Amino acid sequence: MQLSMTLDELNSFLDDHFPQVAGEFEVMDVTPMHLVTRANVADKHLRPGGTVSGPTMFALADVSVYLAILAMVGPKALAVTTNCAIDFMRKPAAATNLRGETRILKLGKVLAVGDVLIFSEGDDRPVARASMTYSIPPGP
């Protein structure tokens, strides 16, 4: 399978359609069925002790799998998250950006499934692992 969107197109799509999180997340790399993302961690993402909050990691996982699906099927899709399972395994480094490594495991007509490993930048032990399912609406 081939990519339907380039790195630049994915980042533009993110800025245009999710202005509430503009600048928080960006796509760093994309290949068929794989995507690398970064969360630019700011004060509002932190919890006591400087650690990155759970909702920030959830949001990174959610946007990462969403964009990895769009990269394959194109920007016309309006996929909806139906399920997420997430394991928080280590405390993220204080005030450090997050890196998400996403792979798509299934790209069906109705459901798509992907998973994400999340790292604090500069550390190769994952801080979290998430799997996400998206429901893909029927095409026009």
Residues 75-94 that bind a copy of itself (CB under 8 A): 80-91
**Secondary structure percentages of the chain, helix, strand, coil, to 5:** 25, 35, 35
DSSP state, residue 109: S
Decide whether 27 or 128 has the Cβ nearer to a copy of itself: 128
Report if residue 133 touches a copy of itself, rule: CB under 8 A: yes
How far apart are the C-alpha atoms of 34 and 104, rounded to whole Å? 6
Decide whether 3 or 79 has the Cβ nearer to a copy of itself: 79
Out of 3, 7, 33, 46, the only residue in the binding site for a copy of itself (CB under 8 A) is 46
Distant-in-sequence, close-in-space partners of 2: CB < 8 Å, separation ≥ 6: 32
Report if residue 110 touches a copy of itself, rule: CB under 8 A: yes
Burial of 70 (0-12, 13-18, 19+ CB in 10 A): buried
Out of 55, 74, 121, 123, the only residue in the binding site for a copy of itself (CB under 8 A) is 55
The distance of closest approach from Cβ of residue 46 to a copy of itself in the complex, given in angstroms and rounded to an integer, is 7
How far apart are the C-alpha atoms of 107 and 91, rounded to whole Å? 32
- State the residues that interact with a copy of itself by CB under 8 A: 17-18, 20, 43-44, 46-48, 53-56, 58-59, 62, 80-91, 105-106, 108, 110-111, 113, 115, 117, 125-126, 129, 131, 133, 135
